[in-house]
Amino acid sequence: MEDVKSLNFFEKFKKVKVGAIPLPAYLAMAIVIMLSAYFEELPVNMLGGFAIILSLGWFLGGIGGSIPGLKNFGGSAIFSLMIPSILVFFNFFNANTLAATDMLMKQANFLYFYIACLVCGSILGMHRKILVQGLMRMIIPMACGMILALVVGTTIGTLLGLGFEHTLFYIVTPIISGGIGEGILPLSLGYSAITGIPSEQLVGQLIPATIIGNFFAIISSGILNRLGEKRPDKCGQGQLVKFKDGDDMADAMKEDTSPLDVKLMGAGVLVACTLFITGGLLQKFTGFPGPVLMILVAALLKYLSVLPGDIEKGSKQLYKFISANFTFPLMVGLGMLYIPLKDVVGMLSWQYFVVVISVVLTVVLTGYFVGGKMNMYPIEAAIITACQSGMGGTGDVAILSASNRMNLMPFAQVATRLGGAITVISMTALMRFLF
């Protein structure tokens, strides 16, 4: 292996990568994009939009993920989301840049494509054994945590003067909705269909609670890890369920290491599009928001093992591709178009933080005590339920990394994806009933 210390400056420079692109090549492409934007020659279509969000998303995600300390608290997501919002606030982007981004994110509905691929791929790609047994084990702590968090958080917010409906639907619910792509965006679409308020306006109101909740969930996870070191009787060293000897779920937790199949990924695109369209079709007959119904249909198909294994594999591979390459770029688009910084800052107050902290502590403590009564290790159960208040897959990684429990990822996905889906479905139904 080549000794990195012996490399000269230019050789080291060439080895640095932004996303998957070597830094010199990235700089050349970024300069072209910046000049086109400066002279207002960016094409106002998907090409111009992708050029903006990919170049900024990979760069900001890399910076946020390399800062000591911050990188363990979702720094990549925070940078990708908030820096573009700050730049828009100070009028850094011209009209041509914003128009190209708007064309991709809103008019071309890249948001919907991202949601469909992520939700369908994560559910269909989950091992059925994890879906069935993991859900059976975690459903009670998840449900108890969700219910208690809604009650405790809403009560505290109401007592502090934030209002019952505002606290319940716009602070507490987004914290436990499963992240941005799988939670906030479908939730905003559901709210929009019920209230008539534009979904982009709702996203700006919902996201701050998710970001702050994710931060405190990561801190809680680190504290739980330290507690496990002091109380080994409460800790499974990464194992959630107290299985008998030889009865584990190692086969279900094995990651698929087979090479990517581009044809199967193409099939995954069609599956995601079809399931999204199915949700819209069912909305016509039920009146319930299509994106939420899409989640239900995907979970039902997985539970019944309707789709061939290769198709599910293609959906999972598509999910990996989309999440790996477009998560931080998507957050750039969200920050530019959906998060008016002035409005976000105006919503934050000490009462707001108290409500968020109370929600995170409630789900963590519920997981600890309820999980401990259900033949699960309390520390691991609490870490899993902490993922309910994280930022989806990004939050899962940060939360599990803080506790050195990455092998719990399948269970974290059950808590985040399915727990978030339950929250989105139930709270959208409640809002529809109330309004």
Q: What is the arithmetic mean of pLDDT over 389-405? A: 76
* Type of residue numbered 247: D
Q: What is the arithmetic mean of pLDDT over 303-331? A: 88
C-alpha 51/C-alpha 53 separation (Å) is 6
Check residue 82 and give its pLDDT.
Answer: 80
Q: Is the pLDDT of residue 54 over 90?
A: yes
Check residue 1 and give its pLDDT.
Answer: 35
C-alpha 364/C-alpha 387 separation (Å) is 9
Q: What is the arithmetic mean of pLDDT over 342-363? A: 85
Two tokens at 210?
A: 């998710």
Check residue 12 and give its pLDDT.
Answer: 74
Q: What is the arithmetic mean of pLDDT over 215-235? A: 84
CA distances (Å), origin 31, targets 15, 34, 37, 396? 19, 5, 10, 35
Q: Which residues pair with 62 in a beta bridge?
A: none
**Selection from 7-11, 44-48, 141-145, 344-348 with the highest mean pLDDT:** 44-48
Check residue 250 and give its pLDDT.
Answer: 52
Q: Which residues pair with 376 in a beta bridge?
A: 241
Q: Is the pLDDT of residue 2 over 60?
A: no
**pLDDT for 106-150, tens place per residue?**
888 887 888 788 878 877 887 776 666 656 777 788 889 989 999
Annotate 307-316 with b (16+ C-beta within 10 A) or e (fewer): beeebbbbbb
Q: Is the pLDDT of residue 67 over 70?
A: yes
- Stated pTM of the model: 0.70
**pLDDT for 247-270, tens place per residue?**
445 555 556 677 788 899 999 999
Q: Name the least confident of 76-80, 241-245, 335-339.
A: 241-245
Are 388 and 361 within 8 A, CB to CB?
no
Two tokens at 282?
A: 């069912």
Check residue 5 and give its pLDDT.
Answer: 54
Cα of first residue to Cα of last residue in the chain, in angstroms, is 64
Angle (CA) 107-123-116 rounded to 5° is 5
Quick one: pLDDT band at residue 72, thresholds 50, 70, 90?
A: low
Q: What is the arithmetic mean of pLDDT over 194-199? A: 82
Kindly report each contact of residues 25-29 with a partner whose C-beta sits within 8 Å and lies 24 or more positions away, as own/partner: 26/55, 26/58, 26/59, 29/55
Annotate 84-117 with b (16+ C-beta within 10 A) or e (fewer): bbebbeeeebeebbbbbbbbbbbeeebbbbbbbb
